Homo-oligomer: A and B are copies of this chain.
Amino acid sequence: MDQSPPRSSSVTVADVARKAGVSKATAARVLGGYGTVSDHVRDAVTAAARSLNYQPNELARSMTTGRSGTIGVVVGDIENPFFSLAMRGITDVARQTGFTVILINSGEDADAEKSAIRTLLAKRVDGLIVSPAKESDADHLREAARSGRPLVLLDRGSETLDIDTVIADDRHAAENITRRFIALGHRRIAYLTACDTPDHRFRAPTDINTGSVRRRIEGFLDVCQKAGLERMEDWVHVGAVTPEHTYRIATVMLKSSRRPTAVIASDSVIGLEVFKVCRELGLTIPTDLSLVSFHDADWTSVTTPPVTVVRQPVYGLGEAAAKLLVERLNGNSAEATRVVLKTEIVERASVATAPA
């Protein structure tokens, strides 16, 4: 047919139109798949496009339509299995509905998150899914929500924010675990979280900026209080931001003479580290220490003993968030929804009665 097709980047509708011997408008109609064209012309344009190796410019398309077919996602850390699985849920829905995903890691840093949202908005994403690092200053979220681009909060988000949110019933899960521990005679129960406070000490749930974790700690403290356990705030450890930090915190905690007899790990990365420290210190699970971790990570089922976990519907969280966003994009403008997905406790063998 033709010799070497020209560099694709420069072929425009105008070129195709010229080659097909029709107007730019007509060529655009068939290339863009809108309006009405006769079969004859359609074939001619299609042929011309192919022979020129025409590649549409989505940027130009977005410019005029005002829609980019893109959704922006801001997560704490894509390396964390929690987020990578949620991301899978998001991207699956995106693909099915014809959207493309821009991903930005905030590193759980509020400033980075703000700039990420600004960048995404500047790139004219059609909507946003954000897993906010902090909820104390949520002005950028409110602003984003008001920018006209739909915003859905993932896994976090406080009740005070009038924004679509998809979370798990973290509080409920934490309450269940705590009750179980207490029923088994545990009194020294520790909670470990990556969330940090300015002075790395915990005083009250309001110190915690991450909604999902705050709710869990509230549930934990509530149940403890109702059971007559006092000053359980002292057993909440914050700042397990990296495995190294967790290692240090867990080591100090478990070497203490008044060490806990039960531990709740706020995510699987923390749970893994606690497990390792136990080994290192020669503590036997569950005889010496009972352990429950949030997130049903793969490793939890192959350890000896396998560890009891809170299974969160992580993929479903991402999926639901994306579906909700797409609905908004399709014009659903009902008031802000709050989707709460059920968690489930997977009993394995890391929980036992408190040592005497």
Residues of B within 8 A of A101 (CB): 102-104
The count of identical subunits is 2
With beta carbons under 8 angstroms apart, the residue of B57, B88, B272, B279 that contacts A78 is B88
With beta carbons under 8 angstroms apart, the residue of B70, B84, B124, B299 that contacts A302 is B299
B55 touching A59 by the CB < 8 A rule?
no
A60 close to B (CB within 8 Å): yes
Q: A279–B56 Cα gap in the complex (Å)?
A: 54
A147 touching B60 by the CB < 8 A rule?
no
A251 close to B (CB within 8 Å): no
Q: Closest B residue to A243 by CB, please name it.
A: B298
Q: A68–B68 Cα gap in the complex (Å)?
A: 13
Residues of B within 8 A of A272 (CB): 298-299, 302
Q: Closest B residue to A10 by CB, please name it.
A: B148
Q: A168–B59 Cα gap in the complex (Å)?
A: 36
Q: A9–B144 Cα gap in the complex (Å)?
A: 11
A275 touching B302 by the CB < 8 A rule?
yes
A46 close to B (CB within 8 Å): no
**A96-137 interface bits toward B, Cβ cutoff 8 Å, 1 = contact, 0 = none:** 000011111100000000000011111110000000000000
Q: Closest B residue to A115 by CB, please name it.
A: B95
A79 touching B68 by the CB < 8 A rule?
no
Residues of B within 8 A of A124 (CB): 57-59
Q: Closest B residue to A7 by CB, please name it.
A: B148
Q: How far is the CB of A67 from chain B (nearest CB, A)?
A: 11
A103 touching B103 by the CB < 8 A rule?
yes
Residues of B within 8 A of A56 (CB): 122
Given A88-B77, A272-B302, A302-B272, A102-B102 contact (CB < 8 Å): yes
Q: A102–B103 Cα gap in the complex (Å)?
A: 6
A276 close to B (CB within 8 Å): yes
Q: How far is the CB of A152 from chain B (nearest CB, A)?
A: 18
Q: How far is the CB of A221 from chain B (nearest CB, A)?
A: 30
Q: A302–B274 Cα gap in the complex (Å)?
A: 11
B123 touching A58 by the CB < 8 A rule?
yes
A103 touching B91 by the CB < 8 A rule?
yes
Residues of B within 8 A of A118 (CB): 55
Q: A217–B200 Cα gap in the complex (Å)?
A: 50
Which A residues form the contact surface with B (CB < 8 A)?
7-9, 55-60, 62-63, 68, 70, 77-79, 81, 83-85, 87-88, 91-92, 95, 100-105, 118-124, 147-148, 269, 272, 275-276, 279, 297-299, 301-304
A-B contact pairs, 7 of them (CB 8 A): A56-B122, A70-B123, A79-B85, A91-B105, A100-B123, A269-B298, A298-B299
